[in-house]
Amino acid sequence: MSPKQVLVLRGLILHRRLQNFAYKTELSWWIFALAGVLALGIALTVSFQSWKAATKNPVQSLRYE
């Protein structure tokens, strides 16, 4: 099966499973977009800090210890 078919099938199965619950809530697209933006922001921050630490001169760090 192609990934697109798997996503559609998984969505249908999940939709049917969620119909059995007594309490239901709507999930908007912006919740997932916000989560993606936050995850991307954290990943970029960590990457930048890692790059900055890796390219720093070790002599400068040891001078103050």
The pLDDT of residue 63 is: 73
What size, in residues, is the chain?
Answer: 65
Report whether pLDDT(61) > 80: no
The pLDDT of residue 57 is: 84
Are the beta carbons of 24 and 18 closer than 8 angstroms? yes
Q: How many domains does the chain have?
A: 1
**No. of H helices and E strands in the chain?**
3, 0
**What is the phi-psi region of residue 56: left when phi exceeds 0, alpha when psi lies from -120 to 50, beta otherwise?**
beta
- Residue 56 sits in which domain range? 3-63
pTM for this one? 0.57
Mean pLDDT of the chain: 89
What backbone phi and psi angles, to 5 degrees, belong to 20?
-80, -10
